[in-house]
Structure 1
Amino acid sequence: MKKKWITIVMTWVLVMGMFSFQNAAQAEGLVKETLNDSITRVVEEKLAGANVSITVRDRFSGEAIYDYNGLAPVKPASNMKLLTTAAALDILGKDYRFNTSLYTSGKISNGILKGDVFIKGQGDPTLSIEDLQQFAEELKAQGIHEIDGRIVGDDKWFDDDLLTPGIWVGDESYYYAAPISALTTSPNTDYDSGTIIVETVGTIVGDLPSIKVTPHIGDLQIVNEAQTVEEGKANTITIERLHQTNKIVISGNLPVDKTKREWVTVKHPTTHTLTMFQTVLAEAGIEYSKEKVFQAATPNSAKLVAMKQSMTLEQLLIPYMKLSNNGIADILVKTMGKVKNNHGSTKAGLQAIREYGNSKDLNMKDWQFEDGSGMSHENRVSSLLVSELLYQVQGEDWFTTYFTSLPVAANTDRMVGGTLRNRLKDPLTAGKVYAKTGSLTGVSTLSGYLEAGSGRSYIFSVLVQDKSGASTTIDEIVKIIAEEL
């Protein structure tokens, strides 16, 4: 009788379990169907005519639970940085630091250096005018008050190609398309290397606006063709560097007491850094005999005077990823090329990225890219592949560093929320979406991780091409994912 009773109970448990499993499966299928209907409706209504690729995965199983044209190749824009950053953490390591070194050659006699001063760069995007001032103090500490020789920049760590493929001529004046050399400086702690900040202020009506340059004009020339106009008139001021020149032209009208600020690229970061250093030397009371600056390799016989190390890569990822800094991405690509393939070029760096992807079975034959920042309109990848990358990197020992670098939805702290600080403010998504934005002409992308309304976590990738102003619609899609899942 006891055995019969146990058999009845076990049968009941098995039947109920199968019933529960069937109900769960039906519920999951219903959720997926609802998600499909909801997203498809938004895509058809608001992204008609666009090239759209969307994938949603369970964060912990990696299962693709939804896709809309998941295999369609789309321009990733700055979502390309998701791959670049993963490769950099794997190849360079989160503790990697950039070095900039100060050397002298020759001998010092009665305070005069009978030889050359070398600044050897290795791509540090955090090098500042304050660092150059510290170098000048180090020379004074050596007893040097005059340089009877050359001031030389050693930028041989990278190749001579300053711009990545795909940079449009019309973009070259702006910070997001800055030239890259191994010896470069940044104007502030956003670390937009290879740029200066030019600010104009309306003064007296009819007069030229006043101009402030941060940190230093260097080898650039400013032509002020602007005019201060009455309060209430249109602000038409433009601040641009003419193509392939050192000339920055300011034109248009600026209302009185109004300001306009622009990050403007330098023509060549190495020569700009050296001319800044000349001014720093003069301000420190160090004379020099040659006005011309030079570029050459540091001789083995040169004496190391001082070295500046950057913050760690882990720390640098915050301004880089939060603010989507293209210059840092380009520098990381060349650095990976130098470290991994002994050639500091974009081509060698991209090869290192492909080697990383292949080592993680990321199906790199279907990733098409010619830079690491996402600026090129020739880059292509599908949402299925981006989401696969985001799933795979969770197993890396540096994943916490990677995850922390992503912008956080609706967090107003600029170095936390980054490019998502004013987006996805709904309670369903605020603080629950960690994702990388992307934007080019006609392109909007967003890929990352989210905690859905159910409390479960998912990976998503939404890539939209051939549609202007699609970021609002992308946010609507992400909110639907959070609601339905």
Structure 2
Amino acid sequence: MRKRLASLLMAWVLFVSMFGMGQLAQAEVTTEDALSESISTIVQEKLSGANVSIAIMDRMTGEVVYDYNGDTPIKPASNMKLITTAAALDVLGEDYRFKTSLYTSGKLSNGVLKGDVYLQGQGDPTLMEEDLRQFAQALKAKGIQTIDGRIVGDDKWFDDDLLTPGIWANDESYYYAAPISALTTSPNADYDSGTIIIDVNGSAIGNAPTVKATPHLGDLEIVNQAQTVAAGQSNTITIERSYRTNEIVISGNLPIDKTKREWVTMQHPTTHTLTMFQAILEQEGIEYKKHKFFRAATPKSANLISVKESMPLNELLIPYMKLSNNGIADILVKTMGKVKGNHGSTKAGLKVMEQYGKSINLDMTDWKFEDGSGMSHANSVSGFAINDLLLKVQQEDWFDIYFKSLPVAAHPDRMVGGTLRNRLKDPLTSGNVYAKTGSLTGVSTLSGYIEGSNGEQYIFSVLVQDKSGAVSVIDEIVTVMARNL
């Protein structure tokens, strides 16, 4: 009798277990169907005519959860920084610091340096006006009152190609297309290297507006063709550096109660830095007689006076990735080329990035790139390829640093939320999406990590090409992911 009861009980448990598992499987199918149907509807209705690649995988197992043209190559825009940053952490290391060094040659007699002063750069994007002032003060502390020689910029750490291949002519004036030199300066703590900030303010009606350059005009020249007009009139002011010149042209009308700010690129960061340095030397009471600047390598016999080091790479990643700083990305590419292959060029750096990808078993035939920032329209990668990268970097010792550098959805702090601070504010996504944004003309992308409503973690990539104004649609798709995962 007991055996019969035990058999009946076992059969009942098995029946209940099978029935429950069937319900669970049905629930999973229903959830996946809802996710697929919702995303497909959004793509068909709001991204008609666009090229789209969407991929979602389980963050722990790598299992594909959703695929909409997941293997279709798309222009990644700044999603390219995901592989640039991973390679930089691996090749350079999280403690890597950029250096700028001050040297002198010749002899000092009665306050006169009968020799040259060298500024030797290694691509430091954090070099600022106050650092140049400290260099000037270091010379003054040595007793130098007059430089009877040359002021030389040593930018030989990098090659002479200041712009990556994908920079268009009409982009060259703007901060996102800044030239890359081994000796460069930044106007602020965002480290927008190779740029200065121009502020224009209305003056008396009918007169030209006032102009302020931060930190220093350097070798640039202002051509102010603008006019201050009455309040309420149209604001048509433009601030641009004329193509391949040192002239910043300000034109149009500025209402008296309005202002305009623009980040403008230097034509050549090295000569601009040297011009700034001379002005600071004069402010510190050091005379420079030649009034001409030179570019050359620092001789081995030169005397080291002072060294400025940047913050370590793990700290620099915050402004770089949170704010999607193109200049820092392309500096990192050239630096990897120099450190790994002894050639500070974009081409050499991209080769290092490719080698890194292969080292973690990425299929690098899925990646096409000609820069590290994502500015080039010749770059392409699929959603699956980005997912694979984001899956494999989790095994790296530096992954926590990498993850922390990603913008956080709807976080109001600029150095936390970054380019996502005003996006994905739905409670389902706010604080639950860590992802890299990307934007080019006709291109919008977002890839990273997301927590679903089930509490599980996922990797996702949404790449949209040949469609303007797709950012809000991408956010809608990501919100659907959070709701249905």
| TM-score bracket for the superposition, by shorter chain length | over 0.9
CA deviations over 1:133-186 (Å, ceiling 9, x no partner): 000000011111111100001001000000001100000000000000000000
**Pairing 1:156–2:156 present:** yes
Q: What CA distance in whole angstroms lies between the structure 2 residues aligned with 1:334 and 1:343?
A: 8
Q: What CA distance in whole angstroms lies between the structure 1 residues aligned with 2:100 and 2:200?
A: 32
Deviation, structure 1 residue 7: 5.6
1:177 corresponding residue in structure 2: 177
Are 1:196 and 1:263, in contact at CA under 8 Å, matched by a contact in 2?
A: yes
Give the letter aligned to residue 234 of structure 1.
Answer: S
Structure 1 residues 272 and 15: CA distance shift in structure 2, 3 A:
same
Aligned residues: 485
Q: What CA distance in whole angstroms lies between the structure 1 residues aligned with 2:429 and 2:121?
A: 43
Q: What are the residue-to-residue correspondences of 1:329-344 with 2, within 5 Å?
A: 329-344=329-344
1:92 corresponding residue in structure 2: 92
1:382 corresponding residue in structure 2: 382
TM-score between the two structures when normalised by the length of structure 1 = 0.98
Q: What CA distance in whole angstroms lies between the structure 2 residues aligned with 1:162 and 1:238?
A: 25
**Pairing 1:129–2:129 present:** yes
Give the letter aligned to residue 444 of structure 2.
Answer: S
Deviation, structure 1 residue 24: 2.4
1:272 corresponding residue in structure 2: 272
Q: What are the residue-to-residue correspondences of 1:162-311 with 2, within 5 Å?
A: 162-311=162-311
Are 1:125 and 1:185, in contact at CA under 8 Å, matched by a contact in 2?
A: yes
Q: What CA distance in whole angstroms lies between the structure 2 residues aligned with 1:5 and 1:184?
A: 84
- Find the residue that maps to 1:66 and give its secondary structure: strand
Give the letter aligned to residue 23 of structure 1.
Answer: Q
Are 1:86 and 1:402, in contact at CA under 8 Å, matched by a contact in 2?
A: yes
1:473 corresponding residue in structure 2: 473
Q: What CA distance in whole angstroms lies between the structure 2 residues aligned with 1:207 and 1:364?
A: 58
1:451 corresponding residue in structure 2: 451
Q: What CA distance in whole angstroms lies between the structure 2 residues aligned with 1:353 and 1:215?
A: 34
Q: What CA distance in whole angstroms lies between the structure 1 residues aligned with 2:7 and 2:294?
A: 91
Give the letter aligned to residue 179 of structure 1.
Answer: P
Q: What CA distance in whole angstroms lies between the structure 1 residues aligned with 2:316 and 2:66?
A: 34
Give the letter aligned to residue 169 of structure 2.
Answer: V
Identity, % of aligned positions? 70
Structure 1 residues 182 and 3: CA distance shift in structure 2, 3 A:
farther
Q: What CA distance in whole angstroms lies between the structure 2 residues aligned with 1:331 and 1:15?
A: 64
**Pairing 1:102–2:102 present:** yes
TM-score between the two structures when normalised by the length of structure 2 = 0.98
- Find the residue that maps to 2:444 and give its secondary structure: strand
1:141 corresponding residue in structure 2: 141
Q: What are the residue-to-residue correspondences of 1:8-47 with 2, within 5 Å?
A: 9-10=9-10, 12-47=12-47
Q: What CA distance in whole angstroms lies between the structure 1 residues aligned with 2:124 and 2:17?
A: 60
Q: Which moved more, 1:450-459 or 1:144-153?
A: 450-459
**Pairing 1:119–2:147 present:** no
Q: What CA distance in whole angstroms lies between the structure 2 residues aligned with 1:114 and 1:346?
A: 38
- Find the residue that maps to 1:274 and give its secondary structure: helix
Are 1:146 and 1:287, in contact at CA under 8 Å, matched by a contact in 2?
A: yes
Give the letter aligned to residue 323 of structure 1.
Answer: L
- Find the residue that maps to 1:249 and give its secondary structure: strand
Give the letter aligned to residue 431 of structure 1.
Answer: G
Are 1:445 and 1:463, in contact at CA under 8 Å, matched by a contact in 2?
A: yes
User: Which sections of structure 2, spanning at least 5 residues, go unmatched?
Assistant: none
User: Which sections of structure 1, spanning at least 5 residues, go unmatched?
Assistant: none
Q: What CA distance in whole angstroms lies between the structure 2 residues aligned with 1:13 and 1:90?
A: 53
Q: What CA distance in whole angstroms lies between the structure 1 residues aligned with 2:420 and 2:284?
A: 43
Deviation, structure 1 residue 11: 5.1
Deviation, structure 1 residue 362: 0.8
Deviation, structure 1 residue 257: 2.7
1:400 corresponding residue in structure 2: 400
Give the letter aligned to residue 58 of structure 2.
Answer: D
Q: What CA distance in whole angstroms lies between the structure 2 residues aligned with 1:366 and 1:258?
A: 48
- Find the residue that maps to 2:226 and give its secondary structure: strand
Are 1:203 and 1:257, in contact at CA under 8 Å, matched by a contact in 2?
A: no
Give the letter aligned to residue 282 of structure 1.
Answer: E
Q: Which moved more, 1:9-18 or 1:236-245?
A: 9-18
2:464 corresponding residue in structure 1: 464
Q: What CA distance in whole angstroms lies between the structure 1 residues aligned with 2:268 and 2:442?
A: 30
